[in-house]
Amino acid sequence: MKNVATFIVIALFSTIGYAQNGPKIEFSAPDNTIDYGKISKNDNGLRSFEFTNTGDAPLLIIGAESTVSSIVVTKPAAAIQPGKKGKIDVKYNMAAGPIRKTITVETNAVNYPDGRVALKIKGEVL
């Protein structure tokens, strides 16, 4: 019984250490949110979510999309190497009214469950 308990403890610690290795994505926007504020319809609607790969392996942005057609998302095509920065561009169709939208980003990052990150934009188009 003592050997089984020791094995479980060792297995647990090795799994925890393993989960810390790999690519990690850290966004510079607070709470992964860009606030457009109150803007004019004449604004081009383009904003960028900047991030850094703080992990120890190449970071892949597998997909980035919104559930609404009023947002166009452009992701990096190449892997982001450890310590390097990248960006995901978001272009909002400037229809009058409040902005409250979410963009789902799929990555191979180990610091988010299943590598999925929710990015948000908010504001108001006057």
Q: What is the enclosing helix (H) or strand (E) of 102?
A: strand 97-107
Superfamily (CATH H level) for 25-125:
Immunoglobulins (2.60.40.10)
Q: Residue written as tokens 């229809």? A: 95
pLDDT tens digits, residue range 42-82?
999 999 999 999 999 999 999 999 988 889 999 999 999 99
Domain ranges of the chain: 25-125
Confidence of residue 9 (pLDDT cuts 50, 70, 90): very low
Nearby residues of 70 by Cβ (< 8 Å), 6 or more positions away = 92, 93, 95, 101
Strands 116-125 and 33-39: parallel
Name the pTM for this structure: 0.82
Mean pLDDT for the chain overall: 89
